Structure 1
Amino acid sequence: MKNPNGGSSPERFVRARLERLIGAVEVLGLVVIGLATILAMSQEGWKIIGQGEVSITDLLLMFLYLEVLAMVGRYLRLGELPVRFPLYIAMVSLARDLILRFNEATEYHVLALCAGILMLACGVLVLRYSQTRFPLADDKDAGSADQSGP
């Protein structure tokens, strides 16, 4: 028996169950990522305390962990994730790699890392500009919550 709303009852039942299962797996995965990030962050903190000194690479690594936690938190809270968050993480990761390997890196490696950071920054700029200049209908509600980001 076909339902006028598109699909039979068994079809809707299976689809609803699958959507619920996928949603639960998604939340479980985010919780695992969040807990693993907290564990890694605490391990890094203990390493810094044990060494008795903090380097810029340690700070950048801690910043990466905070960005991952912010990404997980935002996705759990709002069910959405701006594309900019992974771009920020990639920029900090490239900057950390540049600092870590600066002494032994070739000039081409340094140039490639800097070009990568510049391209990611331009990507963020284009995304921010297009989001404010050409908002989608569903971005208007999310836009006010998104203004707290960097």
Structure 2
Amino acid sequence: MEKVVLSFSYPDSLRQENMLHPRTATYSRRTLYFFEGAGLVVIALATIYAGYQETMLMINNARVSLADLLLMFLYLEILTMVGLYFESGKLPVRFPLYIAMVAMARYVIVDIKEMDNIRLLGVSGSIVLVAVAVLVIRYGHVRYPYLEDLEDLADAAPKKNNLRD
């Protein structure tokens, strides 16, 4: 069976770099980066404040539960995700999925007494479904890596010595 490769190229008049004046494009990009960074700072500060509030609540109650620890873990995951985005400019899809799994596990732990069997089964099934999604995404990244990932691997690989004995 013959492989069919579809490709499409934009005419010169529709190429993205020709759509905006270079100064306008630069200004727009800088403005977007500024608001993106400001939003990430707000998310990080709000997460730190929420973690502080939760810590104070645990200290005042003189009690720490598994639900409290999972909530603190969620805060740390959010901070890690923000830090990773600041560092690389990319957000791996897996991080929000990890956060979703921990959040659903926390929901089960906190509300287990009020949950009926159907709801418990639904939440448990959702956790399994998200875990399978993480595995599929991870498999896809290993099996079909992005071009940038291949370049990073090539740069990190030890160079072979071409000298002969």
TM-score by length of 2: 0.79
Deviation at 1:60?
Answer: 0.5
Matched, 1:77 2:87: yes
Aligned position for 1:26: 36
Residue number among 52, 64, 67 corresponding to 1:42 in the alignment:
52
- Tell me the residue number matched to 1:7: 18
Q: Which amino acid counterpart does residue 139 of structure 2 have in structure 1?
A: Y
In the TM superposition, 1:105-120 aligns within 5 A as 105-120=115-130
Distance 1:105 1:40 in 2: 26
Q: 2:131 aligns with which of 98, 121, 143?
A: 121
Q: Please say if 1:17 is aligned against 2:27.
A: yes
CA positional deviation for 1:139: 2.4
Q: Distance in 2 between matches of 1:142 and 1:90?
A: 29
- For 2:74, the equivalent position in structure 1 comes to 64
Q: Which residue of 1 aligns with 2:103?
A: 93
Post-superposition shift, 1:130?
Answer: 1.1
How many pairs does the alignment contain? 140
- The question of 1:139 aligning with 2:149 is answered yes
- Measure, in 2, the Cα distance between the counterparts of 1:126 and 1:140: 19
SS at match of 2:139: helix
1:52 alignment counterpart: 62
**Unaligned 5+ runs, structure 1:** 1-5, 145-150
User: Where do 4+ consecutive residues of structure 1 move more than 4 Å?
Assistant: 141-144
Counterpart of 2:60, as a letter, is G
2-structure distance, mates of 1:26, 1:103: 41
SS at match of 2:112: coil
> Residues 49 and 141 (structure 1 numbering): CA distance in 2 closer, same or farther, change over 3 Å?
farther
TM-score, length of structure 1 as denominator length: 0.87
Output one character per residue of 1:18-59: Cα deviation in whole Å (capped at 9) or x when no partner.
010000000000000000000000110011011111000000
Q: Which amino acid in structure 1 is aligned with residue 137 of structure 2?
A: L
Q: CA deviation at 1:7?
A: 2.9
Secondary structure of 1:66's partner?
Answer: helix
Determine what percentage of the aligned residue pairs are the same residue.
Answer: 43
Q: Distance in 1 between matches of 2:140 and 2:18?
A: 38
Cα-to-partner distance string for 1:66-120 (whole Å, 9 max, x where unaligned): 0000000000111111000000000000000011111110111000100000000
* Cα distance between partner residues in 2 of 1:141 and 1:110: 45
SS of 2:147's partner is coil
